[in-house]
Each structure stands twice: as C-alpha cells, then as structure tokens.
Amino acid sequence: MSSRNPYDADLAKNPANYVPLSPLGFLERAASVHPDRVGVIHGDRRITWAESYRRCRRLASALARHGVGPGDTVAVMAPNIPAAFEATFGVPMVGAVLCALNIRLDAEAIAFMLEHGEAKVLLCDREFSPVIAKALAGLARRPLVIDIDDGEAQGGGPIGTMEYEDFLALGDPDYVWRWPEDEWEAIALNYTSGTTGNPKGVVYHHRGAYLNAIGNAVTCGIAGHPVYLWTLPMFHCNGWCFPWTITALAGTHVCLRRVEGRAMFAAIAEHGVTHMCGAPIVMGLLINTPEADRRPLPHPVNFLTAAAPPPAAVIERLERQGFRITHVYGLTEVYGPVTVCAWHEEWDALPIEERARLKARQGVRYLTEEAVMVADPLSLEPVPKDGATLGEVFFRGNVVMKGYLKNPAATAEAFAGGWFHTGDLGVWHPDGYLELRDRSKDIIISGGENISTIEVEGVLYQHPAVAEAAVVARPDEKWGETPCAFIGLKDGANATAEEIMAFARTRLAHYKCPRTVVFTPLPKTSTGKVQKYVLREMARRLGA
Amino acid sequence: MSSRNPYDADLAKNPANYVPLSPLGFLERAASVHPDRVGVIHGDRRITWAESYRRCRRLASALARHGVGPGDTVAVMAPNIPAAFEATFGVPMVGAVLCALNIRLDAEAIAFMLEHGEAKVLLCDREFSPVIAKALAGLARRPLVIDIDDGEAQGGGPIGTMEYEDFLALGDPDYVWRWPEDEWEAIALNYTSGTTGNPKGVVYHHRGAYLNAIGNAVTCGIAGHPVYLWTLPMFHCNGWCFPWTITALAGTHVCLRRVEGRAMFAAIAEHGVTHMCGAPIVMGLLINTPEADRRPLPHPVNFLTAAAPPPAAVIERLERQGFRITHVYGLTEVYGPVTVCAWHEEWDALPIEERARLKARQGVRYLTEEAVMVADPLSLEPVPKDGATLGEVFFRGNVVMKGYLKNPAATAEAFAGGWFHTGDLGVWHPDGYLELRDRSKDIIISGGENISTIEVEGVLYQHPAVAEAAVVARPDEKWGETPCAFIGLKDGANATAEEIMAFARTRLAHYKCPRTVVFTPLPKTSTGKVQKYVLREMARRLGA
C-alpha cells in the first residue's frame, strides 16, 4: 500500500452514495414502475404490484402498532399463499425478522422454534391451527397469534386474536417503512431440519438476501417478467430467495396451496408459468400426472431442482414434455442454491445418459457467491480436480448466513478456518464442476474403506425394478459398517434381495455392495429428501 | 429498537460470510466455468476466457513488478481494443485505479489528467502517440509508458519503454492477484468532459462497479451469453460498466476500433451480436449505412442508447431493420446509466409517434440504484408528478461515485443534502417516469420565463428540412436571453431562417421561439453529444 493514497482522502461514504443493500426496495420499484401488473395470483385472486405493496405496508404498519420492531421475530405457519409472500416483505419492513415454519413439523418442534426464536407474533394458516394450538400450550410466553383464513384451507379454525385481513385493515397502506440501518441486519431466521438434537436457527441478513435474489436471476438467466409457480415451499430457505427475485423482476408469483399434478399443469397453462423450483418429488409428480389431468405447456418451462441429482430417465421424460431442467445445489446456511450445473451448449448434442451424467453434478458457484471448494475437512487443503478424490464442500462469500442464533459454538464450528463447512462430501471434476458424493454423516466406512452411498444408490437405480433406493451404514462386528440398501419397487415390479445384490456386484467393487436389502417405501422429509436418519435407525436395529 | 437484539449477538462478519464486493471475481468465474468460450474478438483474433484471464493476470503481475500497487493510477489511451478491455481487470487486480482517457482529447487536457491523476503507468495505443508525446512533454513526472501496437492502428509510433505484448510477457499468467480489502476501494478514475474549468476526476469504487455491472443485466434483461459489440467507448464511464457485465455473463466482447457502418453490420452478421450501446450518433451511422455495406441481422439486436432521446423517425427506421431500442440515462458520476425507460408490453400496440414519445423519457431507476427523484434544486422538495413542473434530477444509492478526486469542495457540493445533484432538469410524469428537459446550465431565461431548449429542439426536429438542431441562449439587452437555434439541414434540403421561425411559431409559445437561426453542422464531443458550450460561445459573439 502506498504511504499516501489519494483515493482515500475526502471520499467517504455518505447518504447519497451508500445505502445498505436490501431486497425491500425491489417491492417499491415493482409497485412504482409496474403498478397495474399482476404481482400475485392465488385461485381467483389477482393482486397487482401496487396493491401488493400497499398490503405489505399495511402488514408492517399493523405489526409496528402491536409493538413489533427491529430485532423482533415474527413467525409464519402457512403454505404458499399470499400472506406467506407478504410476510417476506412486510415483516422486515419494520426491522423484524421473518421465521417461516415448516408446515409439516410436529408441535414439539414448532414449540422449540417459537421459544428459541422468541417469536412475538405468529401468523397461522387455519389448516395448521391444531398443531399450533398444541405447540402454544407448552409455551411460557405466547406470541400474538393472527389467523389466516385462506379460502382453500381445509379444516382447522381460529385460535388467534384476529384474522389476517382484519389485521391488515388496522395498518396504514402508506406506512413509511424502515430501511435497514445496516445491511448486516437480520432479515430471516430459518431452522434447519435438525435430524439429531435441536434444530439450529440460521440467520440471514439483508445483504445476502439482496445478493442471492439477484444471483438467482443472473446465474440462472431469468429475465423479463417471469411467471413463477410456487411449488417450492416459501418456508424452505425463504423459497430460495425467490420471493425477492421474482419481485425484483416485477414478475408474477403464482401461489399454490397444494403441490398436485393437476393443479400444476392447470396453473402453467392458465397463467403462462415460465419458472418453477422444487425437489425431485415435484418432478415425480409432474411425470406421474395422469393424462386426464395434464394440459399442454404454452411454452418451455424452466425447472430448477436441488436436493438430489435428477436421474436420466426423469430428465428425459420431463424435457420431452417441454420442461428445461437446471440442477442447483445449496443449503439452508447459504440462502438456498449457490451452485448451478451451468450448461454448455455443446452438451446438447450428447446422448441423454451422458447429458444426465453431466447434469447430475452440482456444478459451479453462483455469480454472487465468491468461492466454493472441495477440500480436506481438517487441513482445508483443496483436493485435486480429478473427479475421484473425496473432500468436503466449502463456501466463502456474501451469500453465507450470519451464523446460528444463540449458538456461538455451532457458529464457530461452521466457520472454522474462514470457510463455511457444508458437511457434504464430493469430488472436484477436471472442469471445475463439483459433484456430491455424500453427507459426512452418510458415508459408510467398511473395513477402513470409505463407501459413497450415492455411488451405490446410483447403481441400484439402474435396476429395472427399482423405483427408489437409499443406502445407509449397518453396524457390523467384523467390518465396522456395511452398506444396507432400502429399496422401493416400481408398481407391479418384483425383485429379491439376492437379485439386487447380484446386480450390484456386476457394477460395483465387492466391498461397496449392499450386504442387506430391505424392501420398503422410503421415508421423506416435507421437502422431499429421504430421511436417512430414520433408515440408519432401522439399520441399527437390524443388529451388527 | 429493542433493548437487546439477539440477532446482533455472536453473529459478526468473518472471512467465510463477508467478502468485499468486486467485479474482479467475474473474470475468474468466466475463465473457470467457460474456459474455452471466446471472450474477446478483435479482427482475426479470438481470445478464450481462460486465455483472457491469463492475460489480465500477466498485466497485473507486470504492473506489480514495476512497482504499481494499491492506490496507484494506471492510465490507458486506446480505442476499443483488447488491451483496453484487459486493463479493466488487470489494473484493479493489483489494487490500482484505472484511468481510461478519452482518445479525442487534446494534449493539454490529457496532460492535466495525467498530472492530476498522478498516473504511474500509461498504456498508449500507437495511433495516439503524437498527442500523448505532446502531453508528456509538459509533465513534471513522466509515467512509465507502454506502447500498444494494435494491428489496426494507423500512423503513430513507439514512444514508450516497451510494447504491450512484451510487457505482458514479463508477467506471470498464474499471478495471485489482490482482492480489494474493502469494497469502498477505488477501481476507476473517470474525468468529466469539463466544459468549463478543469475536468473533475470521478472516482468509482468496487462495490458500485459490481452492482452496476449486475444492474445492467438485471434491469435491461440481458441473459444467457450475450455477444456485445463495442460501439460505446470503453473510456466513457468504463463503457457503462459493460466490460464487467459481459464478463459476468461469460459473453463475448467484440472489439471495434473504429465505429463505422460497414464494420458494425459485418460484426453483427459474423459474430451474432446480440447487444450494443451508443449515443444517437451511432444510431445515425447505422441508419445511414449505404445498402452495399449492410448485412442482414441474424436476429434482433438490442441497442441501449443514452445522451439524447431517440427521435421517432430514428426508432422507427431502426426497429424496422431489426434493432430494439432501449433508452437509458445516467452520468459519469453514476457509472453510466442508472435509469431506464422500462417498457410496458401494452405500449407495443401504440402508433410509432406515441411510442417514441414514451420512449423519449429517461424513465425509472435501475434495480441497483436505490432512489431517483425530481426535486427543487434548493429545498430538495420533490416536484409533483404532473409531467409539467420542472425540477432537478437527484440520485441516491450504491451506484454513485465516491466523489471527485482531490476536490472536496466539488464533492460536498455534488452531495449536498444527502443526494447526488445531477444538474439535469426534468419533469416527473404521473406514472413515475422522469423526462429530462435540460441541463441547468442549458436552460434559457427570457423575460424571467424558463425555456427548455429540449422542447424547442423537439419542435425544430419536426421540420422536414432539419437534420439536427440545437438551441442555446443568446444574450439580449431587453429579454436577458433569447433562444438561438443552430440547425444542420438534411442533404439536398433547403430552408430559410424566416421559414424555421415561422414554423416554430405555429407550434410553440411565442417567447419560446428562436429569435436567431444559424445554419451550420453541429459541433459534437467524442461521445456524440452536441457541444453546447461551443454554440453558446458562438451565440455570445453574435452580441446582445
């Protein structure tokens, strides 16, 4: 550094040239530039951007009148309906932090999150009032509960102080909302699924939400005014930041209370959906929708998928139907996806199996995430880009959480060495694309050899009778652990454990082949991920 | 604010979750994800992204070996050739600041900029060696001069220590370059044209360059891998940040040493150009290219234009030829364009005159600029959105300069009241779109009434014989000032001053009509702007 730097003199930040980054301004812009465009669709409802902005300001204003302010938590228990969307803006507009709860959780988990997150207000969709009532019963401090009486809700009833629309009516549609004083301020609190122990509260900041919202658009090539179908839960990493992405582009949010084949095809046809996101389970629903419930696609529909690599057969069937699949990867701690399997035009000419193999890779960093590496978990030394050496996936950049709420030990562990430790294991290909092999805790160590359960599962999926497969470690007296396969068979298909094991031996090193095969439908999380901890427990009970 | 905010506890920034924003990472990503894609085209040369990254690292490394480091200035005098592009990355990669010089300036102005900016190194295209040699002659401290011997250069010769390619050869292609320690660090120094007094040195920071680079893409809907034709000078607000935008998208930069009709059509046809930017003068060149020099467009070409509202006839002719015109507006102080005349699909059905009227407006803020307003220059009170009340245009946001180098008084004046003062006058339409009426210094005050020269010019342009028109104030003993029109006639067309004045009187309030009409080709700056200060001087000499 020069002893005297003229570029540092009299050139400080001031209110004219420095504003904290925040996605909140996206809504103001959509409303002022495209006031009459439809911003939100839900059933027969059409909410323009001007009206959406007024509703969000009403929400912020009503929250402020009830004493909610900076650093307070507002929880939401709702499917993908307008209220859930409005909370992504209305809550941070008073400086509060949005805690979107997974609607498939039980009362105990919800109670923990409300208590740990210190929720001051809870917006609760009627359908989920039974589980919420149970969760509230055990709380020392009960939040203000607002009922959302969505027209499409089934069952449940009011348990709160007032209904959401009445609450909005208390608010000022011209409310002068609060821009964050610092872009490092928290905007959202998202609890991890917590397969062991208590869930951890991942804290997002305004800067990261702004950058990943834009990162989705720039990295995945989303331009114009996208029409976005809400098949990914908004409570899942704040819908991968898409409430902010689609608003930034003044697109249209098409709400979807229930993710069902018929409803998806209807929404695509009626509203001209251009983009949607979801776990493989959503792709499966699309593929398996009966002919009578299908509608022709008005144009190609872009589908972003994560959580598990899309198998070749699924890609092929969906692409033939007019969907374009993009494979992304991320975690709650990084605001949703931060890598993408960026496509090369020359790959289009390859056979489908080859394309699927390339597309199964988790790929490269988002433009807005500064670094990703596959490295030794202890030394943080990057592994060679040989497509073979296993390492842990690490991220560093602006789309990484602030940390875990009230959990400095876990935060320090996650950030040890100046990188975020994902706990996911993978390899680095010669072209710089990463490919996951396993979660650290999923890896099987048999006779001292590491076995990637993803590799074994990939082989099992090739068996013609196998619909789904998951492999976990089974304790073994001699080998320490051996692979145990759980398999769901296709409708009408048959196979024996011996056949499956023999099949695997023709394609895998012997030590990697399952020693145990159990036929059963796989247990899954609300976001479509196989619950390996359930399977591990089942395998443990099988004995060593 | 709550007395205790749990979201502030143990959740500080650390190297894993906070990285200074910088466009420099865009190049690393393009090179690692798309190493074999062509990043830069110049004549017969094709430079892949992998190679481009190596060349930029060589440049950074060679600069470092010559003692260039953080806070040093590196100047470039070159047209749109690869070396000019490489400097936008290679120079800041050592923490230095890029000062791209306007190649049409004279030695005196250049000498001022080199001296004031304290340039330590100067990369000089051979063709401009005469003016540079003259500029250097008067300097107390001569920078290290590197000659760029571009194959398409005409005339000139070596005046420096070595040639650019030899300089690169000294550098390490694997050089470990410097990420800025703070996103507020300077990345570029751009001198304003300075129509009165000395030019001012506008300082850009990494944060703003990153954000406007992405802002161009998101706001103007540039997705995929754009093929960008360099018709806008890279020395003009760093090419509106497009060196960084196109690299972020791993697109292709098509260099263009000379902006000529035949060369533009050839480049569009041969390289499949998708985007280009430029002042109206470039649109004029496209329109006036003789049939023999034209080539069919392979697909619609997006043209971003600024500096003057595109007239209806120009829009119509270009759109008929396959160009899509987007009108943007900005200034050197805001990194190029930060407003856009965002288009509404329903306007497509309007008659061309109406579309041109709408498109002539400067529009709304970029997504990445947080606020724009039209307000009273003194009170900063926003004017009503009535399309009539004149006010000054103000910006506030992250895409506003750090300030003027070594000029705290001008910096303070520009930022007075917490807004950046553009000096441009305009109105705010009911739909929130702003429309410029004049520069503050261009306004004519006649008998106490403000006259917008843009309004008068708009009427003059409607006269069938008028090719170009500019109106300035002429001193007047009775009225203070009166409008004086300078008019360039179309080839073969004729008109008298009396005819022009009579024509104006049928369309304008009497006091707004030109009292003087002078027929002459209009003097223009290197970026195609009419040099009104020259005309003002001519009008002044006509006497009061």
ipTM: 0.88
Fill in the DSSP letter of residue A283: H
**Minimum distance, in Å, between the CA of residue B501 and any CA atom of chain A:** 39
Interval A182-210: pLDDT, tens: 999 999 999 986 555 688 999 999 999 99
Least CA distance to B70: which residue of chain A? Answer: A1
CB A146 within 8 A of CB A164: yes
Residues 287-346 of B with CB under 8 A from A: 342, 344
Cβ burial of B239 (10 Å; 0-12, 13-18, 19+) is: buried
Residues B331 and B439: beta-carbon distance below 8 Å: no
The alpha-helical segments, DSSP class H, found in A288-359 are: 312-321, 352-359
Query: What pLDDT score does A470 carry?
Result: 92
pLDDT tens digits for B478-537? 887 899 999 999 888 899 999 999 999 988 888 889 999 999 989 887 666 788 888 988
Comparing alpha-carbon positions, the chain A residue that sits nearest to B333 is A17
What does the alpha-carbon distance between residue B95 and residue B118 come to, in Å, rounded to a whole number? 15
Nearest to B248 among A367, A396, A398 (CB): A367
Coil, helix or strand for B239?
helix
Tell me whether residue B104 is exposed, middle or buried, using C-beta atoms within 10 angstroms of its C-beta: 0 to 12, 13 to 18, 19 or more: middle
Inter-chain residue contact A118 with B17, CB threshold 8 Å: no
A490: confidence class by pLDDT, cuts 50, 70, 90: confident
Task: Say if the Cβ atoms of A402 and B11 lie within 8 Å.
Answer: yes
How far is A180 from A367, CA to CA, in rounded Å?
Answer: 24
- Name the residue of chain A whose CA is nearest to B365's CA: A29
Q: Above 50 in pLDDT, residue B212?
A: yes
Helix orientation angle between A280-287 and A312-321, rounded to the nearest 10 degrees: 50
Question: Does the beta-carbon distance from A403 to B10 stay under 8 Å?
Answer: yes
Amino acid at B460: L
Q: Kindly determine whether residue A11 and residue B419, on different chains, have CB atoms separated by under 8 Å.
A: no
Class of the B443-541 domain?
A: alpha beta
Angstrom distance (rounded) from CA A389 to CA A166: 58
pLDDT at residue B195 greater than cutoff 60: no
Q: What is the pLDDT of residue B133?
A: 97
Terminal CA-CA length for chain B: 63
Query: Is A342 close to B371, i.e. CB distance below 8 A?
Result: no
| Backbone conformation region of residue B118, classed left if phi is above 0, alpha if psi is from -120 to 50, else beta | left
Query: What's the 3-state SS for B253-320?
Result: EECECCCCHHHHHHHHHHHCCCEEEECHHHHHHHHCCCHHHCCCCCCCEEEEECCCCCCHHHHHHHHH
Do A154 and A132 contact (CB within 8 A), yes or no? Answer: no
- Gap between the Cα atoms of B200 and A218, Å rounded: 34
DSSP string, B385-423: SSS---EEEEEESSSS-SEETT-HHHHHHHTGGGSEEEE
The answer to whether B266 and B44 have CB atoms below 8 angstroms apart is no
Please write the tens of the pLDDT for every residue from A371-380. Answer: 999 999 999 9
Given an 8 Å threshold on Cβ–Cβ distance, is A17 in contact with B72? no
| C-alpha distance from B400 to closest chain A C-alpha (Å) | 5
CATH code linked to domain B26-428: 3.40.50.12780
Task: Name the nearest CA neighbour of A206 among A167, A250, A161, A241.
Answer: A241
With a cut of 50, say whether residue A345 has pLDDT above it.
yes
Do A24-428 and A443-541 show the same overall fold?
Answer: no
Buried b (16+ CB within 10 A) or exposed e, B276-310: bbbbbbbbbbbeebeeeebeeeeeebbbbbbbbbb
Tens of pLDDT, residues B244-259: 999 999 999 999 999 9
Please tell me the number of Cα atoms within 13 Å of B229 on its side-chain side. 26
How are beta strands A444-446 and A449-451 bridged, if at all?
antiparallel
pLDDT of residue A405: 97
pLDDT category of residue B101 using cuts at 50, 70 and 90: very high
**Percent of residues, chain B, with pLDDT higher than 90:** 76
Write out residues 241-280 of B within 8 Å (CB-CB) of A: 248-249
Rounded CA-CA distance B383/B159 in Å is: 54
The yes-or-no verdict on residue A2 having pLDDT over 70 is no
CB A472 within 8 A of CB A442: yes
A9 touches chain B (CB under 8 A): yes
Instruction: Please check whether residue A405 touches B, CB under 8 A.
Output: yes
Question: Regarding predicted confidence, which is higher, B443 or A432?
Answer: A432
Can you tell me the distance from the alpha carbon of A386 to that of A229, in angstroms, rounded to the nearest whole number? 38
**What pLDDT is attached to residue B197?**
67
Is residue A313 very low, low, confident or very high in pLDDT (cuts 50, 70, 90)? confident
Give the pLDDT confidence score for residue A370 in this predicted structure: 96
- Stretch A493-512: mean pLDDT: 90
> What is the structure's pLDDT at B478?
80
pLDDT tens by residue, A377-421: 999 999 999 999 999 999 999 999 999 999 999 999 999 999 999
Report which of B438, B498, B185 is spatially closest to residue A5, judged by C-alpha positions: B185
Do A255 and A231 meet the contact criterion of CB atoms below 8 Å apart?
A: no
Please, which residues have CB within 8 angstroms of residue B31's CB and are 6 or more apart in sequence? Answer: B49, B50, B52, B53, B54
pLDDT tens, residue by residue, A154-193 = 999 999 999 999 999 999 999 999 999 999 999 999 998 6
Residue B374, SS3? strand
The yes-or-no verdict on residue A269 having pLDDT over 90 is: yes
For B25-47, what is each residue's pLDDT tens digit? 999 999 999 999 999 999 999 99
Segments making up each domain of chain B, as ranges: 26-428, 443-541
pLDDT of residue B1: 42
The 3-state secondary structure of B74-128, one letter per residue: EEEECCECHHHHHHHHHCHHHCCEEEECCCCCCHHHHHHHHHHCCEEEEEEEHHH
pTM above 0.80, yes or no: yes
Minimum-distance CB partner of A223 among B14, B18, B221: B221
Two structure tokens written together for A285: 């629903």
pLDDT at B2: 43
3 state SS for A49-80: HHHHHHHHHHHHHHHHHCCCCCCCEEEEECCE
User: Alpha-carbon distance B388 to B305, whole Å?
Assistant: 24
Q: How large is the greatest C-alpha to C-alpha distance in chain A, in angstroms?
A: 78
- The CATH number fitting domain A24-428, selected from 1.25.40.10, 3.40.50.10890, 3.30.9.10, 3.40.50.12780: 3.40.50.12780
With a cut of 60, say whether residue A517 has pLDDT above it. Answer: yes
Strand partners, B5: none
Determine the pLDDT at residue A3: 53
Region B374-391: what's the mean pLDDT? 95
Q: How far apart are CA A145 and CA A103, in angstroms?
A: 16
Q: Establish if A18 touches chain B: CB-CB under 8 angstroms.
A: yes
**How big is chain B, counted in residues?**
544
Write out pLDDT tens, residues A105-138. Answer: 889 999 999 999 999 999 999 999 999 999 999 8
Distances in whole angstroms, Cα of residue B288 to Cα of each of A373, A384, B284, B309, B318: 53, 56, 6, 18, 11
Q: Closest to B5 (Cβ–Cβ): which among A8, A21, A71?
A: A71
- How many CB atoms are located within 10 Å of the residue A181 CB? 11
Q: What is the 3-state secondary structure (H, E, C) of A174-219?
A: CCCCCCCCCCCCEEEEEECCCCCCCCCEEEEEHHHHHHHHHHHHHH
Residues of B in contact with A222 (CB under 8 A): 223
Q: Which residue has the tokens 């009459």?
A: A36
- Please report the pLDDT score of residue A459 as a whole number: 87
Mean pLDDT of chain B: 93
